[in-house]
Amino acid sequence: MKKIAIAGISGNTDNYRNALSQLGAVCTTLTDVSSSSQFDALLLPGGGDIDPVLFGETDHGSRSIDPVLDRQQLSMLDAFVSAGKPILGICKGMQVINIYFGGRIIQDLPTNTLHQYTDRDQVHPSHALPGTVLQKLYGSDFPVNSAHHQGIGSPGRDLFIIQYAPDDVPEAIIHKTLPILGVQWHPERMCFEHNRTDTPDGSLLLTYFLSLIP
């Protein structure tokens, strides 16, 4: 049984836990790990915006910041990076990964109306680069759901952007050598009881994440 740590607050991560559980994983939501040896992989979930201090900026457009949680998530991320274990970042989680590796965040996208949650997820086209895992799973062009107003300004060390929205906002990143993947969209809201007809099956990505576990 594959054990997944979800770096978040209990009650806010039900969709992630439910989707992964239906794929056979055992998930625990927590904000601290004394040792990553208790788990096989880490999931960094969506949420509010990241404290801009963590990427060397003042607040100019960030929303719903939780500085304590941000630092807890970065600490958990560090433990799993050091152990070389698989990591998946979703929405805010992808941005946390980018910050950890020294990347930059755009605090309020000029095209935020294409991406931000407005009573519901937005859905927009995307393009995956040739030969990437997303292109192999979903093809070169496919729609994704969207619920964010921030985005990656520049990728961190050894991170590569592998998917873009029509306005060139990065939709996914992957690490050069480590089993680390981040997506700006929400696969857990694209599968099982949250399956939707206007996007592909998000469980394909979650299944790929679990396949990274030896």
Judge contact between 191 and 6, C-beta under 8 A: no
Q: Nearest 5°: phi and psi at 183?
A: -130, 145
User: Which residue among 127, 148, 188, 191 is the active-site one?
Assistant: 188
By DSSP bridging, strand 3-7 and strand 26-30 are: parallel
In 10 A of CB 131, how many CB atoms?
Answer: 8
- Taking the C-alpha atoms of residue 207 and residue 209, their distance in angstroms, rounded to an integer, is 5
In 10 A of CB 17, how many CB atoms?
Answer: 21
Judge contact between 87 and 81, C-beta under 8 A: yes
Active-site residue 186, yes or no? yes
Looking at the DSSP bridge assignments, the partners of residue 26 are: 3
Active-site residue 27, yes or no? no
Query: Which stretches does DSSP call E strand in the chain?
Result: 3-7, 26-30, 41-44, 87-90, 104-106, 122-124, 127-128, 144-146, 151-154, 159-164, 170-175, 180-183
User: Which residue among 115, 124, 175, 186 is the active-site one?
Assistant: 186
User: Which residue among 91, 124, 149, 175 is the active-site one?
Assistant: 91
- Taking the C-alpha atoms of residue 185 and residue 79, their distance in angstroms, rounded to an integer, is 24
Residue positions annotated with a catalytic role: 91, 186, 188
